Structure 1
Amino acid sequence: MSLTVNLYYTGTNGSARKFAEEMESSGVAAAIRDEDGNERYDYFIPMNDPETVLLIDSWRDQQALDAHHASKMMQQLADLRDKYDLHMHVERYVSVDEPSSDERFIRK
């Protein structure tokens, strides 16, 4: 089982994109990707909302996510969110380790 958290960062005047760019250029995003249990940490820009950046953040399990939340990087992240005055919307998903009937619709 893994956990995926979709975080939508929204700002004004390109601030969400600047936040994501600084997360990447400062090395904070890379450090998070290197944390034990991190399976994915990627930023995306929705086509219909240029003032929002989507972060897809996946973890092996709740314990790995809890360790991340207790890490020093969380303060760096919070400081950057404040710097760019971002607001957040969060969605949380738990994977199911079962075959899916959706496979017939997926072209590989």
Structure 2
Amino acid sequence: MAITINIYYTGKEGNALKFAKEMMSKGVVERIRSAEGNLKYEYFAPLEDKTTILLIDSWTDQAAIDRHHASSMMQEIKDLREKYDLTMKVERYMSDQDGVPESDQKFIRE
């Protein structure tokens, strides 16, 4: 069962976007994406909130998240969060093993 974590990074004067860009330019994002168990690591910008960046971070299981949290990358991430003085709001979701219910599929356009 996959675990998805949504992290809303918020900061003043575009700092959340600067953080995400530096994460990418330093190669931290690519290293996370290539880590065993990582399924998704993508940043998004909410249209109505210019101070926030959303990270959608998905892993195969808790063991993969624990390995990530124990890695040296976490210190790099922490240092960048502090550099840009970001606050965080975190949501955690477990995937539905059965997928999208048939009753909901009529609302999906592929």
TM-score, normalising length from structure 1? Answer: 0.98
How many residues are treated as equivalent by the alignment? 108
Match for residue 106 of structure 1? 108
Q: Distance in 2 between matches of 1:95 and 1:13?
A: 35
Match for residue 54 of structure 1? 54
Which residue type is aligned with residue 105 of structure 1?
F
Shift of 1:4: 0.2
Match for residue 65 of structure 1? 65
Q: Distance in 1 between matches of 2:96 and 2:54?
A: 22
Tell me the alpha carbon deviations over residues 60-98 of structure 1, each in whole angstroms, 9 at most, x when there is no partner: 001001110000000000000000000000000000111
Q: Distance in 1 between matches of 2:88 and 2:105?
A: 32
RMSD: 0.7
Match for residue 86 of structure 2? 86
Whether 1:35 and 2:35 are equivalent positions in the alignment is: yes
Unaligned runs of 5+ residues in structure 1 are: none
Unaligned runs of 5+ residues in structure 2 are: none
Match for residue 74 of structure 1? 74
Which residue type is aligned with residue 50 of structure 2?
P
Runs of 4+ in structure 1 over 2 Å off: none
Q: Distance in 1 between matches of 2:3 and 2:104?
A: 20
Shift of 1:14: 0.3
Tell me the alpha carbon deviations over residues 11-45 of structure 1, each in whole angstroms, 9 at most, x when there is no partner: 00000000000000110010000000000000000
